[in-house]
Amino acid sequence: MTSSKTDPRVLRTRKLIMDSFIELSGKKEFKEITVKDLTTEAMINRATFYYHFEDIYDLLEKVLSEVLSVNLNYDFYENDELTEEVFVKIFKAVTDFQKSLSSRCHRGYEDTIARIIREQLEIIFYKMLLKRHKAEKDDALKVTAVLLSWGIYGASVEWRRQGLNIPPGEFVRLAIPYIQHGIARRNEEDGEPRPQ
């Protein structure tokens, strides 16, 4: 017997609802989208919507998390280390995600987008740091992951604020030597060789 969470029909319906939400958010502001709009767009009933999502806010969060996960290509980062190119790729994925939402992203989304980006980045950075330092649980690594996630998000906001005049890769490369110097110092204190 197939679990309801992995049943292909359930997954298809969930995707249909999410795609309908993305379609509607291109036409209306988030605060104007109703469950009725979604059920009409997806051609489902209310009970089906509520089987998959608690409410519109739960749907928004799941849609944004999924779109960001696709942009971040989580599997790629899970098997990599914190090099200059990885920082650039992560920063570019975040800025691409924010640009892709710009036509649909109205004021009501901003706090949710910020939280989702930071949470996803924190997970990625923590796993990468754990891999590098081979520690099972390390509060210092958790704090570092939080700082990096907030820093990358904050830098992406600043990049947008400056009007996109410099490509995201060039923008973030300005700070990478300083970030890596701090990481390199920590590695030396731990007796590890400095990353190249």
**Cβ(147)–Cβ(159) below 8 Å:** no
Residue segments in the chain with a per-residue pLDDT below the cut of 70: 1-5, 74-80, 101-108, 135-137, 164, 182-196
Per-residue pLDDT of 20-39, as tens digits, reads 988 888 787 777 889 999 99
Helix (H) or strand (E) holding 111: helix 110-133
Report domain extents, the chain: 8-53, 61-189
Classified by CATH at the fold level, domain 8-53 comes out as Arc Repressor Mutant, subunit A (1.10.10)
Nearest CA-CA partner of 128 in 80, 72, 186, 73: 80
DSSP letter at 143?
H
Q: Is 152 buried (19+), middle (13-18) or exposed (0-12) by CB count in 10 A?
A: buried
Per-residue pLDDT of 153-177, as tens digits, reads 999 888 888 876 788 888 888 888 8
**Cβ(117)–Cβ(68) below 8 Å:** yes
Global pTM value: 0.71
